[in-house]
Structure 1
Amino acid sequence: MGCDGGTIPKRHELVKGPKKVEKVDRDAEIAARWRHCALSQEKLRRPVVACELGRLYNKDAVIEYLLDKSAERPNTEVASHIRGIKDVKELNLTDNPAWEGDRMNTKGDRYEDVHCAMFICPVVGLEMNGKHKFCFLLTCGCVFSERALKEVKTEICHKCGDPFQDGDLVFLNGTKEEVEKLRERMGERRVKAKAAKKSKKNKGAETISKPVAVEETTADSAKASQNGEADSHSDPGPSGSSSPTKVTKLSAPPGSKRSIQQMEDKSEAYKSIFTSHSSAKRTKDQISNWVTHTPYHF
């Protein structure tokens, strides 16, 4: 029954039972979300961008995705809501002075602190490692912790000083409930932007059509005044004879050409400067035929 060494096999060595489900380290999973791009799964490097759902990406990975949206690319469902480069915001991050990166652990013989992050909060100094909630502003892209918002309540950005509202805050790597709320806000924001763009286009069309309507009304009024002027000359007075009436001359409508020789307010000396004056016109005797001279005639 035994082996050469006198050992006796036990039951768990002979009978194989069901495999145990491997448990994922919660800390390692959280650290991976804050250190790696959500689209390409590569390590985050500047420039870092974030979408309206609070996911972190490398900017070059987002550009490559927008240029090639084929189904063969892995993990494309994460960025399916990104339609263009305007749907992401470049983050204004603060570097962690204690971050050494991977350059000090090239051999793998040193302890690597999982909780040490590349970036920190510029107000409180908390590390952006997933243990604390962080948010960014859609207006300026500055990133700071939730504790900074609670301790220093203000309506301007803590880092750059730009004003913001509560709707401009987007929490990074939030829970499922927070992501659903951000998705609803994203839909409302896009609907408003679409409506504003449509109203702006309609206003532009109205401003173009208004000058055309003004020109038509001026032309109609000029015709009506001319008809009224003719009627005033033809109507007889109370004694049977036609009475002289004052005729008001209308100015030419804008955009119509008017000869300088017809302007009564201009002097005769001023009119004689132009070629349309009678003094500038020549008779048939003064007009000679054109003669073309070439070097061959000499």
Structure 2
Amino acid sequence: MGGDGQALANKRSLLQKSRAYVTEAELEEVDLREKQTAKSRNVERWRHCALSLDPLEFPAAFDAMGDMFSKQSIVDYLLRRKATTASGEIDRAEGMQIKKLSDVREVANDTGDSDVICCPVTGYATSSGVHTFAGFWGCGHVVCCSTLPEWTGVDSQLDAECPFCGQRSFYVRLVLDSEVEAQKQSSFLRSHLKKYRKRGREE
């Protein structure tokens, strides 16, 4: 009977170690780690081509999903695709929605010697991982989303004015966190992309 007290103390200690709840400080630490991971992931996506995964080279381009590419990688991919189609081989990049060069828009921002895309209005760098950015299909300018009216859905991306040059077109939200959101944006904008191309030919 003499060991009962120690057994009770041991049980209490085990219960405390295996508690099902976490403290507020632990939750904040997990939240901070997740934010840092998301930030570093965004930085990597801005600094690397989504197709080749090599460091982003200029001229750069974006597509309707909001992914960033080295334009040369797109050209090389389309040439390979044409060659494999002609020889009867299967195109391995099954998820690729880019079938021609007009499916991407070249970035028009002046990068100077830095090779970093910066918003021409705010000066914020895309590779900081702090701010969100959008690319205008008509002029090719990439601007910080803080310079745009509040986003209320994909409809609000249509017939928008570039805050830098004033040209009206639709814009693409770039480097989205959610692949589902990127796919939804792409599906919606691709139909408008066809209309935009047709209007451009008529003009």
Query: Could you state the TM-score of these two structures normalised by the residue count of structure 2?
Result: 0.61
CA–CA distance in 2 between the matches of 1:182 and 1:62?
Answer: 20
The aligned runs of 1:137-216 (5 Å cut-off) are 137-150=136-149, 156-164=161-169, 168-174=170-176, 175-189=178-192
- Higher relative CO (Cα under 8 Å, sequence separation at least 6) belongs to 2
Counterpart contact for 1:96–1:127, Cα < 8 Å:
no
Q: Cα–Cα, structure 1 residues 163 and 37, in superposed 2: closer, same or farther, change >3 Å?
A: same
Counterpart pick for 1:64 among 62, 76, 79: 76
CA–CA distance in 1 between the matches of 2:136 and 2:98?
Answer: 18
* Structure exhibiting the larger radius of gyration computed from Cα positions: 1
CA–CA distance in 2 between the matches of 1:89 and 1:186?
Answer: 13
CA–CA distance in 2 between the matches of 1:38 and 1:73?
Answer: 17
CA–CA distance in 1 between the matches of 2:190 and 2:165?
Answer: 28
Q: Cα–Cα, structure 1 residues 25 and 193, in superposed 2: closer, same or farther, change >3 Å?
A: closer
What amino acid maps onto 2:183 in structure 1?
E
Deviation of 1:127 after TM superposition, in Å, equals 1.7
CA–CA distance in 2 between the matches of 1:72 and 1:27?
Answer: 36
- 1:52 equivalenced with 2:64 (yes/no): yes
Q: Cα–Cα, structure 1 residues 131 and 65, in superposed 2: closer, same or farther, change >3 Å?
A: same
Tell me the SS of whatever aligns to 2:105: strand
CA–CA distance in 1 between the matches of 2:91 and 2:44?
Answer: 20
Q: Cα–Cα, structure 1 residues 32 and 155, in superposed 2: closer, same or farther, change >3 Å?
A: closer
CA–CA distance in 2 between the matches of 1:84 and 1:180?
Answer: 18
* 1:36 corresponding residue in structure 2: 48
Q: What runs of 5+ residues in structure 2 fail to find an aligned partner?
A: 1-33, 151-158
* 1:85 corresponding residue in structure 2: 101
CA–CA distance in 2 between the matches of 1:83 and 1:126?
Answer: 32
Q: Cα–Cα, structure 1 residues 47 and 180, in superposed 2: closer, same or farther, change >3 Å?
A: same
Q: What runs of 5+ residues in structure 1 fail to find an aligned partner?
A: 1-22, 102-117, 201-298
Query: Could you state the TM-score of these two structures normalised by the residue count of structure 1?
Result: 0.43
Q: Cα–Cα, structure 1 residues 120 and 86, in superposed 2: closer, same or farther, change >3 Å?
A: same
Q: Pairwise CA RMSD of aligned residues?
A: 3.4
Deviation of 1:187 after TM superposition, in Å, equals 4.2
Percentage of pairs with the same residue: 27
CA–CA distance in 2 between the matches of 1:121 and 1:136?
Answer: 10
CA–CA distance in 2 between the matches of 1:36 and 1:183?
Answer: 20
Q: Cα–Cα, structure 1 residues 57 and 191, in superposed 2: closer, same or farther, change >3 Å?
A: closer
Deviation of 1:42 after TM superposition, in Å, equals 1.1
CA–CA distance in 2 between the matches of 1:191 and 1:48?
Answer: 22
Deviation of 1:173 after TM superposition, in Å, equals 0.8
Q: Deviations over 1:252-282 (max 9, x none)?
A: xxxxxxxxxxxxxxxxxxxxxxxxxxxxxxx
Q: Cα–Cα, structure 1 residues 189 and 90, in superposed 2: closer, same or farther, change >3 Å?
A: same
Counterpart contact for 2:135–2:174, Cα < 8 Å:
yes
Size of the aligned set, in residue pairs, is 150
